[in-house]
Amino acid sequence: MTDQHWRLAADAVLIAHALFAAFVVLALPAIFVGAARGWRWVRNRALRIAHLVAIGVVIGSAWLGELCPLTVWENALRARAGDAAYPGAFLQHWLERLLYYDAPAWVFLAAYTVFGLLVVLTLILVPPRRW
């Protein structure tokens, strides 16, 4: 593979990372809004389990002091492409600004944990349908 291929693979991981983060964050308010509006899909058991597992991975990584596996994968692909930093493409620049921001580790740990507790709370307040 050429450097360009590795770069494209890293960009694909970045986009997947942004979609994963959007799912984790946006599913929570969608569940509450959907429950209030009577949307049946917010009680879908598979969706709710996927949401719980997704935030569980985030919380687990944070408590273990590990980087997100998607971040590690993207960085490895960028290194393989010979990139020390992102090349400045528009989409990549804005996705990175949304995903990567600077704060002490305890801030992320607290935010992820509180968010995870809110996800668990949705399972109680808006229980999923039975199989």
Q: What is the mean pLDDT of the chain?
A: 87
Contacts of 32 (CB under 8 A, 6+ apart): 122, 125, 126
Q: Tell me how far apart the alpha carbons of residues 125 and 115 are, in angstroms, rounded to a whole number.
A: 15
Total of domains in the chain: 1
Residue 110, Ramachandran bin (φ over 0: left; ψ between -120 and 50: alpha; else beta): alpha
113 falls within a domain: yes
- Asked if residue 131 belongs to a domain, the reply is no
Q: What is the pLDDT of residues 60-114, one digit of tens each?
A: 998 998 888 888 888 889 888 887 654 444 455 566 677 677 777 788 889 899 9
Average pLDDT on 25-39 reads 96
**Inside any domain, residue 130:** no
Q: Report pLDDT for 90.
A: 47
Residue 9: inside a domain: yes
| Segment 43-62 mean pLDDT | 95
Q: Would the pLDDT of 36 be above 60? A: yes
Q: Which domain holds residue 91?
A: 3-125
